[in-house]
Every structure is written in C-alpha cells, then in structure tokens.
Amino acid sequence: MKVIKTKDYADMSRKAANIISAQIILKPDSVLGLATGSTPVGTYEELTKRYNQGDLDFSKILSVNLDEYRGLDASNDQSYHYFMNEHLFKNVNIDKANTHVPDGSEPDSDKACADYEEIIRSYGGIDLQLLGLGHNGHIGFNEPSDEFAKTTHCVDLTESTIQANKRFFEKEEDVPRQAYTMGIGTIMKAKAILVVVSGEDKSAILNEVINGPITPKVPASVLQLHPNVTIVADEAALSKTTL
Ligand code: F6R
C-alpha cells in the first residue's frame, strides 16, 4: 500500500484528482470505479476544475459506481445516481450512457446484481477504483462481517446506517432498508485502487486498515492484499498511523 500524507482535506482532494487525472490522460477510455459520500466531493470539484481548464477529456471515459440504495431511482435526490449527476457527470463531458450505478429501481435483486457484474465484465474490468472509508472500515456497502462478499450483492442496511441517513428523508419509513453494492471481490479485481480519507474521526480505523490484521471484521483491511493501492489521507486521518 502506498500512503500519501496530505496537509488537509483540500490538499487530499487535489492529490487524489491528480492521480485520477493522470489515469484519464494516460488512458482516455479508462473504466473508472467511482464512490459517493462526503470525502470524494472535493476530488470531483477538482476534476471539474481541470476539465473546465481544458486539461481533461471525459468523452471516452466509462464509469461504474460502487453502490446504490435499493428502491431509489436516479430522479430521487437521495439516490447515489443523483449524487453522481450533481457532483460530476453533469459538470464534465462524460457520455451519460457510459456511466453506471447499480439499478436501484430494479426490484429483482438477483437481476440487478448479475446485470451489474456483467456491465463491469463487458468493460474488461475497472482500471482505477476510487473508495471512501467508513468509520467501521466498510468499503462500498460491505459492512463488517464474518466473510468477504465476492460479487455485487444486496445488503440489509444496519440500524445505525438507517438512523444516520434518516435526516435526509422526510419520514423514517422513506429511508431505504437495503442497497446494492459491489462485492469485495469486485473491488479487489480493479487494476488500481485509490482510497481517500480525511479527518481525525477516521484515524483509528485507518490505522487498523493499514497496520491491523486482514479480516472481514474490517472490510477495507483486505486492501493490504491488493498489489496497487494508493491511500491519499490527510494528517488528521493519519494521526494514529505509524508508517
Ligand atoms: C460511497 C460508499 C461508502 C463511503 C463511506 C465513507 O459510495 O460506498 O462506502 O465511501 O461510507 O463515506 P464518507 O466519505 O461520507 O465518510
């Protein structure tokens, strides 16, 4: 694992965007694996800036996102698809037809997950997967568990996730109970992985991910086994890590 320490969130966002920019420049038809959440927002802003400066061309880029709530379609402002449109897709010249998020509107979960794996397979796999890190070590919606999930699958959201998300919805009943997520196996097949981490609140889990045992109880710890992982984290997030 290569660890790049940055001064703060803004510095993390610029450096992560530099790595993604290099990928796009070196391989204009790259398959990018993308993430939602608060951490990559600054990275997407930086990519948009570079696009507006004329330094990046997304016209041949293909993208696949990590996860989506089951039951929400792209028009729902709480869907991850909506998030991606707002924070990146509508701001750059990516062809919307080449952007993919698991289909939250597909009620047949087996079909939604199998279709998604097939999209990734037909693209020849993911060139660069961007990840955020959950406080419990989750990546995508792969929560701490007794085993690593291999492929895209449907997960039941934990009560704490439902409680954390309810502030975004009018009523608690509206909060989705399930999500479709790439599996750990899907993520590990990416040729390169870029993890962005910011803030003191992630420092303990980041140390476990980098220095702790490899265990499905800390899903991101499996990244220690991947041959090409770069973690871009700010000083606060790395404050409990001995490198
Ligand atoms: C997002 C995702 C999640 C987040 C993680 C960190 O698509 O799959 O695993 O990356 O929950 O979220 P933030 O960045 O909001 O702390």
190-224 tens-digit pLDDT: 999 999 999 999 999 999 999 999 999 999 999 99
Q: What is the mean pLDDT of the chain?
A: 96
- For ligand 1, whether the C-beta of 134 sits within 6 Å is yes
pLDDT at residue 146, as a whole number: 97
- For ligand 1, whether the C-beta of 35 sits within 6 Å is yes
User: What letter represents residue 2's amino acid?
Assistant: K
Mean pLDDT computed over 156-180: 87
- Ligand 1 centre and the CA of 141: distance in Å? 8
pLDDT at residue 64, as a whole number: 98
- For ligand 1, whether the C-beta of 87 sits within 6 Å is no
CA 196/CA 173 separation, integer angstroms: 32
Q: How far is CA 160 from CA 67, 80, 134, 156, 240, in A?
A: 18, 19, 12, 11, 25
Per-residue pLDDT for 28 more than 90? yes
Atom of ligand 1 nearest to the CA of 39: 14
- Ligand 1 centre and the CA of 133: distance in Å? 6
Q: Write the residue with the smallest CA distance to atom 1 of ligand 1.
A: 36
> pLDDT confidence of 171, banded at 50, 70, 90?
confident
Nearest to 176 by CA among 120, 111, 102, 87: 102
- For ligand 1, whether the C-beta of 132 sits within 6 Å is yes
pLDDT digits (tens, 9 = 90+) for 113-163: 999 999 999 999 999 999 999 999 999 999 999 999 999 999 999 887 788
Instruction: Give the end-to-end CA distance of the chain in Å, rounded to a whole number.
Output: 11
List strand residue ranges (DSSP E) for 66-177, in order: 67-69, 99-100, 128-131, 153-156
By CB atoms closer than 10 A (0-12, 13-18, 19+), residue 15 is buried
Nearest to 66 by CA among 21, 120, 108: 120
CB–CB of 233/12 below 8 Å?
yes
Catalytic residues: 67, 136, 138, 143
Question: Which tokens hold the place of 45?
Answer: 């802003």
CB–CB of 72/104 below 8 Å?
yes
Per-residue pLDDT for 176 more than 90? yes
Nearest to 15 by CA among 217, 197, 199: 197
Per-residue pLDDT for 164 more than 80? no
Q: Write the residue with the smallest CA distance to atom 11 of ligand 1.
A: 134
Q: Write down the pTM of the prediction.
A: 0.97
pLDDT at residue 236, as a whole number: 98
Per-residue pLDDT for 82 more than 90? yes
pLDDT at residue 165, as a whole number: 79
pLDDT at residue 116, as a whole number: 98
